[in-house]
């Protein structure tokens, strides 16, 4: 395992941009207590900034958990924008539904229980696709969803460095899954793809046409 960002840098960055939103803090607390994987605050802030730049009408998340990344997306889309959450676990979606009802953003959300890829397939003209499901499924997710993306869409994938294991020659199914996905995206000429070494690696792939 390779540490991707030095903890002192992370601490400095967190100190620069304190957040006092009670739902955000509650979600981070919940993730810690349940050892539930979430993108962290620095990644969340990057998602927010990218979403503001892209100004999407439709954001689809493949693998939403209880709504941490959706919280960032939902704040960044305009009042006419929609963020589709997908999760197998109805309890996660219930948690998110309650939170978004309380913070007044619920009209921007869709809550979809079931298999993320099966649900994802129903959508067209997706402006931002966020991939955060089983690592073995990443490449299949890209293949399935790319025809469903809008012009100049942004595909964002979490865990693109997978604890650094992709760079260490790891050969377990998850590391292999991520590595194949990275190769698949980086070789495509119809996307401009780069990976930001932030937390566990964030792939950004911009559709060039």
Contact footprint for its own copies (CB under 8 A): 2-6, 8-13, 16-17, 42, 45-46, 48-50, 52-54, 152, 154, 161, 164, 166-168, 182-183, 186, 192-198, 204, 206, 208
CA dihedral 102, 105, 106, 107 (to 10 degrees): 150
> Distance (Å, rounded) from C-alpha 34 to C-alpha 115?
22
CB atoms under 10 Å from CB of 60, counted, come to 28
**Shortest Å, Cβ 143 to its own copies:** 18
Q: How far is the CB of 170 from its own copies (least distance, A)?
A: 11
Rounded-to-integer distance, Cα 101 and Cα 69, Å: 16
**Least distance (Å) from its own copies to the CB of residue 58?**
16
Instruction: Report residue 124 CA to chain centroid gap.
Output: 18
For residues 108 and 39, give the distance between their C-alpha atoms in angstroms, rounded to a whole number.
21
Closest to its own copies by CB, 67 or 201: 201
Cα separation, 57 vs 81, in Å, equals 4
Residue whose CB is less far from its own copies, 72 or 95: 72
Q: Minimum CB separation from its own copies for residue 114, in Å? A: 31
CB of 78 or CB of 101, closer to its own copies: 78
The nearest distance, CB 93 to its own copies, in angstroms, is 28
Name the token pair of 125: 């003209």
Nearer to its own copies, 45 or 176 (CB): 45
DSSP letters of 173-192?
Answer: HHHHHHHHHHHHHHH-SSEE
Residue closer to its own copies (CB basis): 116 or 166: 166
């Amino acid at each position: 395992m390779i540490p991707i960002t030095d903890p002192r840098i992370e601490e400095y960055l967190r100190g620069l941009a304190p957040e006092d939103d009670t739902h955000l803090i509650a979600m981070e607390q919940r993730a810690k207590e349940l050892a539930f994987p979430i993108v962290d605050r620095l990644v969340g802030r990057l998602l927010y900034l990218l979403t503001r730049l892209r100004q999407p009408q439709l954001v689809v998340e493949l693998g939403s958990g209880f709504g941490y990344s959706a919280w960032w997306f939902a704040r960044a889309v305009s009042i006419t924008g929609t963020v589709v959450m997908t999760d197998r676990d109805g309890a996660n979606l219930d948690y998110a539904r309650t939170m978004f009802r309380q913070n007044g953003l619920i009209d921007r959300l869709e809550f979809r229980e079931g298999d993320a890829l099966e649900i994802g397939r129903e959508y067209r003209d997706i402006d931002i696709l966020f991939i955060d499901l089983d690592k073995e499924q990443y490449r299949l997710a890209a293949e399935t969803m790319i025809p469903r993306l809008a012009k100049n869409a942004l595909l964002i994938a979490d865990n693109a460095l997978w604890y650094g294991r992709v760079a260490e020659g790891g050969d377990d199914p998850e590391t292999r899954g991520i590595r194949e996905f990275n190769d698949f995206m980086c070789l495509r000429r119809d996307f401009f793809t780069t990976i930001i070494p932030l937390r566990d690696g964030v792939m950004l792939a911009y559709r060039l046409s």
